[in-house]
Structure 1
């Protein structure tokens, strides 16, 4: 229950920001015939830069698993996921079907989608398939424990791969940290027990999170 409340708090904070912004919007005076029209500005040519701290662009995506993503505007493509909040984006990604289903089982979907900014290390279907059958069954039968494990893969601060490598660690919503390693197109994420996951596709932009697909399920400290 504590782990679910952490994400619920983040979602409430996002809603408060929207309400405050709406209340503080200045009124606009009607224009008159003597108004001088503004001089249009032309943006400099070049790559689009992130508008939110810690966010990324599609051009920054890296990793051997990125080639397996759908293309164009198809569900699960980079273009599609960039427009959706992270749990909704994961639900369309063909490599994250198990992750999305377990997020729903743990009642975390709405909280993840409503959070203002996250970094998510999402184990792929292949990662979950390597778990012993009894371990996965035990997780699915215990939503509270499942929520803790899933939130050990989520940070409440949005960050790019470069920022994560510079920091060296990431603090997770479940408590505790993961260690970040690797350079260039290689990035690793290690849990407290020393289990190391490799990012198969990283820096994926979603509506409210930077998403990293990893090849191993991480385990928080007991």
Structure 2
């Protein structure tokens, strides 16, 4: 078993996320003790963003950091526990909350579907999502 970063890199479907975490300087944190729960958007999820968005974010580190930390929850929250959060707002490392719903599968803010759950890591867990979620403005 590896930490969150090494697990995501080894999966091969999170290269955009890994590049963004590196650019934002968040790799040391997510390789740290944790535990963390990461709702990890795939490369396909990043590709759904409007053209030029990823490049613009890589040039705006504060905004990139805000978005990336919006995908992280302190503590290790396994899928069985996520289901009990239906209709609740959950605090993220960003400081803002994300709404969890379970009607028709687990969703974040009504738009990002959790497509794979409980990828256990030495310092937390990864749940794969099919869209990038954006914190409130």
Shift of 1:93: 1.1
List aligned pairs for 1:121-200, cutoff 5 A: 121-168=39-86, 169-182=89-102, 186-190=105-109, 196-200=111-115
CA distance in 1, matches of 2:11, 2:3: 13
* Match for residue 5 of structure 2 among 87, 91, 105: 87
2:37 maps to 1:119: yes
The higher-RCO structure (CA 8 Å, 6+ apart) is 2
**Which consecutive residues of structure 1, in runs of 5 or more, have no partner in the other structure?**
1-82
1:53-104: CA deviation from partner (whole Å, max 9, x where unpaired): xxxxxxxxxxxxxxxxxxxxxxxxxxxxxx1110121111111111111111
CA distance in 2, matches of 1:155, 1:197: 16
CA distance in 2, matches of 1:183, 1:160: 18
Instruction: Report how many aligned residue pairs link the two structures.
Output: 135
CA distance in 2, matches of 1:171, 1:158: 13
- Which residue does 1:206 correspond to in 2? 121
* TM-score scaled by length of structure 1: 0.57
Max radius of gyration: which structure?
1
More helix, by proportion: 1
Instruction: Give the secondary-structure state (helix, strand or coil) at the position aligned to 2:134.
Output: coil
CA distance in 1, matches of 2:107, 2:49: 19
1:164-203: CA deviation from partner (whole Å, max 9, x where unpaired): 221333210111111222269x32111xxxx510111111
**Which consecutive residues of structure 2, in runs of 5 or more, have no partner in the other structure?**
none
* TM-score scaled by length of structure 2: 0.91
